[in-house]
Amino acid sequence: MKDRERKKRAEEDALMVKRAIAGDQAAYKALIKRYKIPVSQIVFKIIGDKREVEDLTQEVFIKAFQHLTDFKFGNQFASWLFKIANNHCLDHIRKKKLQIYSMRELRFSDEDETEFEIPDSTYEPDLQMLREQKSKLIRNAIDSLPMKYREVIILRHQEEMSYEEIARKMNLPVNTIKVHLYRAREMLYKYLKDRIKNY
């Protein structure tokens, strides 16, 4: 891209950011449309898993628009957004390496009791107790969530409902459901990251 084109795009971005901060939904959507493919490409390059690209890309835009007021005008919006994408993906990888148990590993019983499956690496007598303690920790984490976040987590991971199905059930926009899920996962991570070290 030539310098003149880059400058023009930066000016257009800055204008759309100002409008988005002021609550202009059209400007918000225009920025997503402009940068969705580049952000998805960054996410895939770092994560390498096509199954996670859509969710992580959505989370990047959620995080960016939650912090739009932090954007310093005069800088390149694209660079700012791509840095958020990069950092978010690296955080995602770090969380996996910490072995904070992802919601995909949770299993729900008929009584909405959460059971957690831990690979058997030992036959020590204390293993069952350890498993029960971790299962209780996960249940407590979910129970600590506000009702609206707890409900979307259960609908998404117990009933494996799509975003659209959850939105219809809760009578909320799909984007709101995605925001709720993102915030719920962040809250679960914060709750678990220190406590899990004790097990």
What letter represents residue 27's amino acid? A
- Same domain for 74 and 108, yes or no, is no
The confidence score (pLDDT) of residue 55 equals 87
Residue 133 has which token pair?
A: 């303690």
Q: Are residues 13 and 52 in the same domain?
A: yes
48: domain CATH number is 1.10.1740.10
Q: What number of residues does the chain have?
A: 199
User: Is the CB of residue 39 less than 8 Å from the CB of residue 61?
Assistant: yes
Q: Are residues 115 and 181 in the same domain?
A: yes
Closest C-alpha among 56, 55, 54 to residue 89: 56
DSSP string, 93-150: HHHHHTT---GGGEEE-TTS-EEE--------TTHHHHHHHHHHHHHHHHHTS-HHHH
Instruction: Looking at the structure, tell me whether residues 53 and 22 fall in a common domain.
Output: yes
The answer on 120 and 92 residing in a single domain is: no
Task: Say yes or no: 107 and 91 in one domain.
Answer: no
The tens digit of pLDDT for each residue in 179-196 reads: 888 888 888 777 776 665
Calculate ∠ Cα 192-96-100, nearest 5°. Answer: 20
For the record, the structure tokens of 127 come out as 């293993």
Burial class (CB in 10 A: 0-12, 13-18, 19+), 89: buried
Let me know whether 82 and 107 are in one domain. no
Is the domain of 172 the same as that of 135? yes
Q: What is the rounded distance in angstroms from the CA atom of residue 84 to the CA atom of residue 66?
A: 12
According to DSSP, the β-strands at 114-116 and 106-108 are antiparallel
1 pLDDT tier (thresholds 50, 70, 90): low
Mean per-residue pLDDT over the chain, rounded: 77
Number of domains into which the chain is organized? 2
88 shares its domain with 140: no
Q: How distant is the alpha carbon of residue 31 from its chain centre? A: 19
**144 and 193 share one domain:** yes
Among 70, 97, 124, residue at a domain's last position: 97
What pLDDT, on the 0 to 100 scale, is given for residue 114? 36
pLDDT above 80: residue 174: yes
Phi/psi for 54 (5° steps) reads: -60, -50
- Domain's final residue, options 63, 97, 131: 97
Which CATH number does the domain housing residue 132 bear?
A: 1.10.10.10
Q: Indicate if 14 and 84 belong to the same structural domain.
A: yes
Based on the fold, state whether residues 185 and 111 are members of the same structural domain.
yes
Mean pLDDT computed over 73-91: 90
Instruction: Please give the C-alpha separations between residue 98 and each of 44, 92, 102, 145, in angstroms, as whole numbers.
Output: 21, 10, 11, 21
Radius of gyration of the chain (CA): 20
Range of the domain at 63: 3-97
Q: How confident is the model at residue 105 (pLDDT cuts 50, 70, 90)?
A: very low
d(CA 129, CA 119): 14
128: pLDDT strictly greater than 50: yes
List phi, psi (to 5°) of 142: -65, -40
Picking from 55, 82, 97, the residue at the C-terminal end of a domain is: 97
Residue that wins the pLDDT comparison between 88 and 188 = 88
**What's the angle, vertex CA 99, arms to CA 161 and CA 196, rounded to 5?**
100
